[in-house]
Chain A
Amino acid sequence: MAKIILASHGGLSSGMLDSVKMIVGELAADVETYSLLPGRNPNEYVNELKERISTSLEEFIIVCDIKGGSVYNALIQLLDMDNVEIISGMNMNIILELVIKNSSGCIDVDNALKEGKEGIQLKNKDNIVVNTEDEDF
């Protein structure tokens, strides 16, 4: 199983984990979070992680709030190791897909990204397609 870490400016990551647990419960028990607090430097955390990851055989998947942000920029320094992947643009679809697949030991990062992108949609009265096609057994 891969280690999933959610990393953000402020409480998005812990809030995200809280929401994800509401849906999948204890499946998300091993997900870790990092919140950068005002006045703190993300490099402290990155150094800690670096040591952990370099001595681990586990695969680390880190999901950041925003590409180019200070959390992301700091974490990018971990990419000189083989067992780290970083995803930016955290949303619930991505995390759910990662957590559910991880629980069965077959995490698929590409598919999680696909799910995350497909989950972003605009709906309004004009474009909602009322689906009247019914399936039967």
Chain B
Amino acid sequence: MLVGLRVDHRLLHGQVAFSWTSALGADCILIANTAVTNDNLRKTAIKMAKPAGTKLVIKNIEDSIKALNSGVTDKYKLFIIVESVKDAYELMTKADIHSVTLGGTKATNETKNISKAVNLTDEEISLVKELIERGDEVEIRMVPTDKKMLAKNVL
């Protein structure tokens, strides 16, 4: 069972590891990210941030979609973390996921500031709008106890 999908450019770090995993009651974390699978030092750091008592799987986007669709993840309370809106969009459209939380995304020259820690490019904004149009819930929230803010109200 999927308990959460979160976009956070830092992937697994203190904020996610501690508060989200316990608030969601997750017992398995999937880091769906293609770059990390080829970067041993970054993988090591992510493994160090793993909360005790949870399983941590790191897969590229394509393999993540395959795993989600195959049913092997059904027995877990699964929490998926991706780095970008684009990766979330890939998973949501190809693996039947209908809600996502936007955590932090980095500001660059091409991004617009949507909320405190969320910065999106024009392309990402149109992906988010597409998800909203197909009826998915896109919310913005840094820590679980923050108030839930729907992206459709701030875009």
- Write the residues of chain A forming the contact surface with B, with a CB cutoff of 8 angstroms: 22-27, 96, 100, 128-132, 134-137
The answer to whether A100 and B56 have CB atoms under 8 Å apart is: no
The answer to whether B145 and A137 have CB atoms under 8 Å apart is: no
Shortest CB-to-CB span from A126 to chain B, Å, is 14
Contact count A vs B, C-beta below 8 Å: 52
Is the C-beta of B41 less than 8 angstroms from some C-beta in chain A? Answer: yes
Instruction: Name the A residues within 8 Å of B14 (CB-CB).
Output: 23, 96
Report if A25-B142 is in contact (Cβ < 8 Å); known contacts: A100-B22, A128-B44: yes
Instruction: Name the B residues within 8 Å of A22 (CB-CB).
Output: 15
Residue on A with the closest CB to B50?
A135
B33-50 contacts to A, CB under 8 A, are: 40-41, 43-44, 47-48
Give which listed residue, A26, A100, A130, contacts B146 with CB less than 8 A.
Answer: A26
Report if A136-B57 is in contact (Cβ < 8 Å); known contacts: A23-B14, A131-B47: yes
Rounded to whole angstroms, the CA-CA distance of A128 and B43 in the bound complex is 12
Instruction: Name the B residues within 8 Å of A137 (CB-CB).
Output: 28, 57, 67, 72-73, 76
Rounded to whole angstroms, the CA-CA distance of A26 and B23 in the bound complex is 12
Rounded to whole angstroms, the CA-CA distance of A129 and B146 in the bound complex is 36
The answer to whether A24 and B57 have CB atoms under 8 Å apart is: no
Rounded to whole angstroms, the CA-CA distance of A118 and B56 in the bound complex is 20
The answer to whether A27 and B44 have CB atoms under 8 Å apart is: no
Residue on B with the closest CB to A123?
B48
Is the C-beta of B143 less than 8 angstroms from some C-beta in chain A? Answer: yes
Instruction: Name the B residues within 8 Å of A130 (CB-CB).
Output: 40-41, 44
Instruction: Name the B residues within 8 Å of A96 (CB-CB).
Output: 14, 18
Instruction: Name the A residues within 8 Å of B73 (CB-CB).
Output: 137
Instruction: Name the A residues within 8 Å of B143 (CB-CB).
Output: 23-26
